[in-house]
């Protein structure tokens, strides 16, 4: 659908198990219609660069490819950035 392509992409750098990541996803649940969630498992061999960068910091979030937050969800920051992107795409 064309509306889907305008949605910002929220990338979650994670691994299994990650209780903090699960918690973060719950916090983001009310917003899920406003973005596309893409999960990157940093333990996979093809993601070793992300593993080296973020192994002590997950969950780490990028919004549209730009670093947004780590160690959890900063809802205020997330909302602000999401709103900015939505205004740009309108």
Query: Per the domain annotation, does 41 fall within a domain?
Result: yes
> Structurally, how many domains does the chain consist of?
1
Query: Per the domain annotation, does 23 fall within a domain?
Result: yes
Q: What global pTM score does this model have?
A: 0.91
Which sign does the torsion angle of CA 61, 15, 57, 53 carry? negative
Residue 5 has pLDDT above 90, yes or no: no
Q: Which residue has the tokens 């659908």?
A: 1
pLDDT at 6: 81
Query: Per the domain annotation, does 2 fall within a domain?
Result: no
pLDDT at 24: 97
Query: Per the domain annotation, does 27 fall within a domain?
Result: yes
Query: Per the domain annotation, does 78 fall within a domain?
Result: yes
Q: What is the pLDDT of residues 20-43, one digit of tens each?
A: 999 999 999 999 999 999 999 999
Range of the domain at 75: 9-88
Q: What is the pLDDT of residues 41-70, one digit of tens each?
A: 999 999 999 999 999 999 999 999 999 999
CATH number for 13? 3.40.30.10
Query: Per the domain annotation, does 3 fall within a domain?
Result: no
Residue 71 has pLDDT above 70, yes or no: yes
Q: Which residue has the tokens 């900015």?
A: 84
Residue 72 CB neighbours (<10 A): 15
């Amino acid at each position: 659908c064309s509306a889907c392509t305008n949605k910002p992409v929220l990338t979650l750098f994670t691994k299994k198990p990650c209780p903090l990541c699960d918690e973060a996803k719950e916090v983001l649940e009310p917003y899920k219609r406003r973005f596309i969630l893409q999960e990157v498992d940093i333990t996979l061999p093809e993601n070793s660069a992300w593993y080296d960068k973020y192994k002590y910091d997950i969950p780490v979030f990028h919004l549209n490819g730009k670093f947004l937050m780590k160690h959890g969800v900063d809802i205020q920051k997330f909302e602000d950035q999401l709103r900015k992107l939505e205004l740009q795409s309108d």
